[in-house]
Structure 1
Amino acid sequence: MSFAIPWSELAPFLLIGFAAQLVDSAFGMAFGLVSNALLTFLGFPPSAASATSRTVESFASGISGLSHALQRNIDWPLFGRLVIPGILGGLAGVWFLSVIDTQITRPAMLVYMAAIGVYLIWRAPRRPQTFRRMRFVGPLGAVGGFLDASAGGGWGPVVTGNLLAQGMTPRMAIGTVNAAEFFVAVTVLSAFIGTLGLAAFTIATTGLLVGAIVGAPLGAWLTGRIAPRQLLMGVGAILIAISLYGLISLMFEPLPSFMRL
């Protein structure tokens, strides 16, 4: 029995997954922003696009973390300080989502992310990045994991953005946060798995996952080769774009409100 792969159906999702993971691996965030935007453009309902992106990112973040490890973009002591609080924060966020309306916290988070983005763009040409011991890493991981689950996203923008604002070397911040994200994402997905089930693995999910697996190593490779100032400006621009879209989506109901930033 032969099995024909539906390449014509898979192709758009392969390209979306590749583009989204390339950006996410290179800059430490925005898989959901890119994938949700393109899936919605293809006609996916926002809820279906978000569920698909969350499922794919949970697996693709593992490939991204491994790719950054091979490129030596990870600070392992910092990784250890991030991952456990991130997991605990993610579990707390799942519980919080079931009892509290988180729409009241979302605008504040978006404004905060925009402010970090503006600061990073301002700082990039003025101050060289010098590695020093990061502060408040445990609480930062807990907050990032909590927002990732309860607000539908925020691990990359909040954690990466904050570490860069503190002065961490860009490639190390991006690589470390990407590696820790896998454990947080899998925890959150596992907590939600009862509502997703095997039905989440559609042609779209498969295409996005394969494309993301191809894009992750290339993004990790680019992280170590893009100038630190350019990385800072790129992360700042992405943070501002995420925040503006999120705020606009809150003001105008017809626009899709992304669950996964």
Structure 2
Amino acid sequence: MGSEFFIFAAVGFLAQIVDGALGMAYGVVSSTMLLAFGVSPAYASASAHAAEVFTTAASATSHVSHRNVDWKLFWRLAPAGVVGGVLGAYVLTSIDGAVLRPYVTAYLTLMGGYILYRAFKQPKTQPEPTAAALVPLGVVGGFVDAAGGGGWGPVVTSTLVGSGSAPRYVVGTVNTVEFFLTVAISAAFLVSLLTGHWAEANGLLDHAMAVAGLIVGGLLAAPFAGYVVRKMPARTLMIIVGCLVIVLAGYQTWQLLG
């Protein structure tokens, strides 16, 4: 039990450094590790989001204090993300959310390549997405995050950075929205459990040490996130985001084919 705590504390620390700086990866990394330990997809998502309630709160505080948040973008993404997240949690507790993974993997691979193209080619900046376009993006990102155990950052951050939005404010805003999204998803899992909708929710406490490790590791790393993204050049950040998305998508593809 003790070794499990320290393993997941290390995972949580590294995942949160990446997530806080790039706006993605905490949920994906945490869920992947939980799945590797034999945890079911629904358990993995619920556990990862329970940990993220704490880590995203710390990360959001860091980004707000470093003025990395575009509040107009925040208010456009947050309501849509919450709706999609609650719906995704409901679906995951009803059916196997893994059926969505091949489609998300293909999308992320394309977005990762496009971001790298923009970083090296440096085309003219395109107009930021309209409010109408942000609503479906937020719904899809929230749904995938809940149903797949992670995905809000890869889907939303990749799309916004790929459209020409400033990486610093995209990462800060997406991370700040993620706190409210995570609270909503965790509440949806809890409601499903209490109402009996989630019939296979027995044994959640068996993974309490793993969740505790994710929380502690993430909290230790979160204060550094806002500083890292504030100081990192935009081009460098785009290259890292593009490579990270491709690597994550490639790993998921390898899992599907394995």
**TM-score, normalised to structure 1's length?**
0.83
| 2:13 is the counterpart of 1:45 | no
TM superposition shift of 1:32: 3.0
TM superposition shift of 1:53: 2.6
Q: What is the distance in 2 between the residues matched to 1:14 and 1:183?
A: 23
Q: What is the distance in 2 between the residues matched to 1:150 and 1:40?
A: 14
- What amino acid does structure 2 have at the position aligned with 1:45? G
- What amino acid does structure 2 have at the position aligned with 1:209? I
| 2:143 is the counterpart of 1:137 | no
1:221 matched residue in structure 2: 227
**More divergent stretch after superposition (169-178 vs 145-154):** 145-154
Deviations 1:181-200 (A, max 9, x none): 11111111111122389727
**More divergent stretch after superposition (219-228 vs 87-96):** 87-96
| CA contact 1:22–1:216 (8 Å) conserved in 2 | yes
| 2:127 is the counterpart of 1:121 | no
Q: What is the distance in 2 between the residues matched to 1:178 and 1:94?
A: 19
Q: What is the distance in 2 between the residues matched to 1:146 and 1:221?
A: 29
| CA contact 1:73–1:176 (8 Å) conserved in 2 | yes
TM superposition shift of 1:110: 0.8
TM superposition shift of 1:138: 1.4
1:192 matched residue in structure 2: 189
RMSD: 2.6
Q: What is the distance in 2 between the residues matched to 1:90 and 1:163?
A: 19
Higher fraction of helix: 2
Structure 1 regions of 5+ residues with no counterpart? Answer: 1-5, 253-261
| CA contact 2:9–2:215 (8 Å) conserved in 1 | yes
1:91 matched residue in structure 2: 86
Distance 1:102 1:222, change over 3 A: same
2:10 matched residue in structure 1: 15
- What amino acid does structure 2 have at the position aligned with 1:30? A
TM superposition shift of 1:238: 1.1
| CA contact 1:90–1:184 (8 Å) conserved in 2 | yes
Distance 1:105 1:18, change over 3 A: closer
**TM-score, normalised to structure 2's length?**
0.84
3-state SS in 1 of match to 2:120: coil
Deviations 1:127-167 (A, max 9, x none): 17858543311111111111112233211100000000110
2:101 matched residue in structure 1: 106
Q: Percent identity?
A: 40
1:150 matched residue in structure 2: 147
2:164 matched residue in structure 1: 167
Distance 1:104 1:202, change over 3 A: closer
Alignment of 1:25-44 (within 5 A): 25-36=20-31, 44=37
Deviations 1:35-75 (A, max 9, x none): 3455677xx22436655333212321111111100111100
| CA contact 1:60–1:209 (8 Å) conserved in 2 | yes
Distance 1:186 1:105, change over 3 A: same
**More divergent stretch after superposition (128-137 vs 83-92):** 128-137
Q: What is the distance in 2 between the residues matched to 1:117 and 1:188?
A: 26
3-state SS in 1 of match to 2:121: coil
- What amino acid does structure 2 have at the position aligned with 1:208? L
| CA contact 2:77–2:135 (8 Å) conserved in 1 | yes
| 2:212 is the counterpart of 1:206 | yes
- What amino acid does structure 2 have at the position aligned with 1:227? P
3-state SS in 2 of match to 1:85: helix
Displacement over 6 Å in runs of 4+:
6-9
Select the residue among 229, 236, 250 that pairs with 1:230: 236
Q: What is the distance in 2 between the residues matched to 1:45 and 1:186?
A: 25
**More divergent stretch after superposition (144-153 vs 161-170):** 144-153
Q: What is the distance in 1 between the residues matched to 2:26 and 2:163?
A: 23
Deviations 1:57-115 (A, max 9, x none): 23211111111001111000100000001111112223333555544432111101110
